[in-house]
Amino acid sequence: MKVIRLICLVAVLMNLSKQHVFAQKRVVIIGLDGFSVDGFKTARHPNLDKMIADGVLSLTTRPVMPSVTLPNWTSHLTGSGPEEHGVTDNKWTLENQRLKPLETDKEGYYPSIFKILKDHVPGVKTAFYYNWAELPNSMNKKYFDEISFEWKDKYDSNYQRAFDFIVENRHSPTLVFLYSVHTDHAGHSYNWMSPQYITAIEQADTAIGIFLDKIRAEKLYDDTHFLLITDHGGHPKSGHGGTSMEEMQVPWAITGPEIKRSGLTNMYNSNKNTAMVIARLFGVKEKDLPKCWTGSIPDGIFVKKK
């Protein structure tokens, strides 16, 4: 009888442990600005390849228009396009906006995934790391537990800060946004697909590899979802902001325990869909999402629950 009770107790504890792990969702967004499909195909990035191998990769994801930085990163993080969130160029600020957003919070900001998680996921921790000064202009910073800016295109310090934040909050649901602009600046300075641009991608891959190895060493990798996203591509001669396919197709990848191991896919996808996917990962119900969000969840990326 005692043995049966002990077995039952162990089973209950194991079930509670599984529920606890499931509750502590961890999502890391790795954002590389101006990362083109041609750049992805040409540069060597073994660390990204290793990460993506266990998930889904799209090389036909569409940015929103215009194909510039702030409208697209805002779209990634708000499940909407410029026609909804109102961020139409890189000069947007709360005080300088021409197109009125469909909805705002009390401070006048369009609802982001950070707000949604803070409103609906108990105990969630959020962090935002960046090195392009204007990037968080469209975000309400009160929904970040940590925010860090690194000057002059540097990113190593932010990668370390992000790792420290993940370890510190290992027992809490966590969303980390880890961004670098140096790839885009290499394209602007030397042209897209120049040797310097390819080198910038490869340097990013090295930093990402070190970051991921640290997470593996802490035994936090296997239960983390990782997203690789970008804002726009770039034409080798004219840069970006236009409508060429070099500008309007970008890499988008996701991996983690709830994601299928499908590899390269031709699924329909948009930068507007990223926040929808993140909300799903954290278990946010559809009724709790803003009515003004227009993104959707791409078909076939999630493992079907038994």
Whether the CB-CB separation of 221 and 23 falls below 8 Å is answered with no
What is the tens place of the pLDDT at every residue in 7-58? 444 343 444 333 333 346 999 999 999 999 999 999 999 999 999 999 999 9
Confidence band for 306, pLDDT divided at 50, 70 and 90: low
What is the tens place of the pLDDT at every residue in 184-226? 999 999 999 999 999 999 999 999 999 999 999 999 999 999 9
Angstrom CA distances, 65 to 14, 41, 149, 291, 296, stand at: 49, 23, 26, 21, 17
**What is the per-residue pLDDT for 304?**
83
**What is the per-residue pLDDT for 237?**
87
How do beta strands 250-255 and 55-61 pair?
Answer: antiparallel
Of 7, 1, 51, the C-alpha closest to 29 is 51
Beta strands in 166-269 (DSSP E): 174-180, 224-229, 250-255, 263-265
The string of DSSP letters for 190-216 reads H-TTSHHHHHHHHHHHHHHHHHHHHHH
Instruction: Taking residues 252-272, report their average pLDDT.
Output: 96
Of 76, 74, 78, the C-alpha closest to 88 is 74
**What is the per-residue pLDDT for 227?**
98
Lowest mean pLDDT among 17-21, 95-99, 240-244, 278-282: 17-21
What is the tens place of the pLDDT at every residue in 146-165? 999 999 999 999 999 999 99
All domains in the chain, ordered by first residue: 19-288 (3.40.720.10)
**What is the per-residue pLDDT for 190?**
97
Q: How far apart are CA 121 and CA 78, in angstroms?
A: 17
Flag whether pLDDT at 268 surpasses 90: yes
Structure-block tokens of residue 18: 């599984």
Other beta carbons less than 10 A from residue 143's beta carbon: 22
**What is the per-residue pLDDT for 24?**
67
Of 271, 8, 32, 236, the C-alpha closest to 129 is 32
Q: Which residues are CB-contacts of 121 (< 8 A; sequence separation ≥ 6)?
A: 25, 173, 282, 283, 284
Provide the residue type at 157 as one letter: S
Q: How far apart are CA 75 and CA 83, in angstroms?
A: 10
